[in-house]
Amino acid sequence: MSKKLLLVAASLGLALLTACAIISPEASFARTHPEKLGAGRPTCSECHGTEAVKSTQKTFAALDHTAAFVKDHKVQASQDSATCASCHAQSFCSDCHGGKTVMTPSTKLGNRPDREMPHRAGYLTMHRIEGKIDPTGCYKCHGRANNEKCSACHK
Amino acid sequence: MKHRTHVALLAVLVSGAAWGQDVSVYSTTIAQMWKSDIPGFDKTATYTPATEFLGIDANKLGTDALSLHLYGWGRTDLKDQSAIGGKTAGDLTYGYLQYAFDRANAQVKAGRFTINQGVGNEMVDGVYAYTDLLDGWNVTAFAGKPVVYKNLGNVPQASISFQRDYTFGTRLGYRIKRMGEIGLSYLQDGSTPAMDLPIPETLDFTRRQLGADLSLAPCSFIDVTGRTVFDVSRRQQAEHSTRIAESDYRVGVKIMDGLRFNGSFTDRDFLYYYTGSTLPNLFDMNERGKFKAVGGNLTWTAVANLQLVADVRRTNRDEYGTATRAGLDARYNLAAQHVLAGVGYHKVNAFNVALVDSTTPSHSLSHSEARAWVMAERGAFSASLDAIRLHYSGASTNPNLIGKSIESQLVGSVGYQANEGLKVSADLSYADTPLYKKQAMGLVRIEYRFGFAAKGGK
């Protein structure tokens, strides 16, 4: 694709974005949660009930931080990043989802066992087992980035 | 991007933060020390890396809508080299300017950022834009250069960089009133597939993917989320294949107050799922077959502060066989006493996973995992204890386990919150594993926060 075409597409996109932002009747989602949350995983629907999250049309219950949500939140994070951002800074995501990491998440947050971070000290043994049972689980993070350590052995 | 350009850009961005009327700085300094007893490695080595994580969020840069976000880390080894690649390392995880409009959730980002939309889950040096449209529609688009990491394997780095010259993607979403959202997305990473190079190469690092995602709650007690990803590159197609790289869905059902069921289904086709892998010797782009998983969990909030979860997941990898993981977890949150605790036990039955190499026709990968942890706070002091014990069934036949069936690790941590912005903590861990015969590790962590820093997932 030529650079001119990309430039035109980018300009059109920016113009569309500005126009939508000006004419839209909907105010943007709150950038910060107005109240401080307690310790532990929040259950959004406890306070918000069955109402829908403003501007996303989903119930707050769909965002309750249940055990299942914590383990698999990719669709919600993909569709509702503005909602996530009202409580979580981008660095919270980077604790696990960095392109290149310097230590395992469980080492960095060794004082937070409640977050159940992956890859504990003994994981080097376990990865030989889990990697055979489900290598697609490894691929999600190590398939295209952050694989410098993997390639030391898997040449 | 050249190294000097990186440094210049970073200097401009950091100095730009000074314009912010609402600046948060968060720093975590971690000093570690450990010794390992790994067969074949130097037992006398002492590893003492010092690592600094630094983040800056500068809001209201001249206008309420403009903000700057930076996060990265640097590491240096004070004694023996602790990691592959050298005694020093670092990375800019993200660094971008963001303009967030007051209406329509519209925002523009420019710089290095992580994009997570539909099929795109990428690190990009470029621009990103999102806006809600009228009548429930919304659109996302991004373009730029993919962040390419150094690969130390046998894959030619220059080839990866050449093929992955730019990336772009878009997603069109539609929100159904009081029900949820569906979306269609497209991703292209790289413009020159290996087969189109002047001298065609065998390893293709480019990707073209189309995705459909949904998150729907048709009534207050059922919700469905998931996505399907198609490989739409011109890459070789397997016979009778649909080009579906991944189908991954979850359904949640609220059975009654405090009792919830989640079911999940995953189907991945290796040939398409691994497209663009920069570690093809591990994630073989030519591997045939599928990975499938079906699972479910039942979450019961027995009383307000006690949650019990029972889960089971059966997986199948065509080439190797089936495995079943099942177990129980309990979490206890005594908020008034500032105590959080959890216990769990899981058993993995993987007797039917046949493997493996030319000398071992098969061995069991079955094991069990028991875990217990507790965290407590008293005034400015905090402490945590985390213990895990694994029992491997196939220790006598699995060469990876070196005849050892038990693996255990204990991590203890104590912390002191000196003031609102400063916390010091120290961890001690001891592990006895088949691979690391013994590993003792000490860690000191200094966390510093300056500014309003309301976010951060504390």
The token duo for B246 is 């991944």
Beta carbons of B181 and A99 less than 8 Å apart: no
Q: Strand, coil or helix: what is B229?
A: strand
Strands (E), B283-400: 290-303, 306-317, 321-334, 339-349, 367-378, 381-392
Using a CB-CB distance cutoff of 8 angstroms, which residues of chain B are in contact with residue A30? none
**pLDDT surpassing 60 at residue A29:** yes
Q: Strand, coil or helix: what is A21?
A: helix
Where is B277: in which H helix or E strand? none
Of A79, A121, A132, the CB nearest to B320: A132
Q: List the one residue out of B249, B350, B247 whose CA is nearest residue B295.
A: B249
The token duo for A85 is 């951002």
The token duo for B213 is 């995602």
A103 — contact with chain B (CB < 8 Å)?
yes
How many CB atoms are closer than 10 A to CB A138?
17
pLDDT score recorded for residue B436: 72
CA distance A39 to chain B (A): 7
pLDDT score recorded for residue B238: 64
**pLDDT surpassing 50 at residue A87:** yes
Q: Strand, coil or helix: what is B273?
A: helix
CA distance B134 to chain A (A): 7
Beta carbons of A145 and B131 less than 8 Å apart: no
Query: Judging by beta carbons within 10 Å of its beta carbon (0-12, 13-18, 19+), is residue B358 exposed, middle or buried?
Result: exposed
User: What is d(CA B424, CA A128) in angstroms, rounded to the nearest whole number?
Assistant: 35
pTM (2 d.p.)? 0.88
CA distance A145 to chain B (A): 6
10-residue stretch averages of pLDDT, chain B, 458 residues long: 65 69 89 81 85 92 90 92 86 93 89 90 91 88 89 74 88 90 94 81 88 89 92 74 90 90 95 87 84 95 88 91 94 87 94 60 81 94 95 79 87 94 94 81 92 51
Beta carbons of A100 and B91 less than 8 Å apart: yes
Beta carbons of B94 and A90 less than 8 Å apart: yes
Q: DSSP labels for B124-162? A: EEEEEEEEE-GGGEEEEEEEEEE------SSS-HHHHHH
B259 — contact with chain A (CB < 8 Å)?
no
How many CB atoms are closer than 10 A to CB A47?
10
A131-143 residue pLDDT tens: 888 999 999 888 8
Pick the residue from chain B with its C-alpha nearest to A42. Answer: B457
Phi, psi of B140 (to 5 degrees): -125, 145
Q: Strand, coil or helix: what is B280?
A: coil
Of A67, A93, A133, the CB nearest to B297: A67
The answer to whether the beta carbons of residues B429 and B408 sit under 8 Å apart is no
Q: Strand, coil or helix: what is A140?
A: helix
pLDDT score recorded for residue B354: 64
- Pick from A125, A141, A142 the residue to mutate for testing the B interface (most B CBs within 10 Å): A125
pLDDT score recorded for residue B262: 94
Query: Judging by beta carbons within 10 Å of its beta carbon (0-12, 13-18, 19+), is residue A75 exposed, middle or buried?
Result: buried
User: What is d(CA B48, CA B256) in angstroms, rounded to the nearest whole number?
Assistant: 52
The answer to whether the beta carbons of residues B267 and B290 sit under 8 Å apart is yes
User: What is d(CA B50, CA B32) in angstroms, rounded to the nearest whole number?
Assistant: 6
A127 — contact with chain B (CB < 8 Å)?
no
Of A72, A99, A133, the CB nearest to B353: A133
Residue with the bigger pLDDT between A22 and A34: it is A34
Beta carbons of A56 and B278 less than 8 Å apart: no
User: What is d(CA B409, CA B373) in angstroms, rounded to the nearest whole number?
Assistant: 12
User: What is d(CA B41, CA B426) in angstroms, rounded to the nearest whole number?
Assistant: 27
A2 — contact with chain B (CB < 8 Å)?
no
- Pick from B38, B47, B93 the residue to mutate for testing the A interface (most A CBs within 10 Å): B93
Q: How many interface pairs between A and B have CB atoms less than 8 angstroms apart?
A: 350
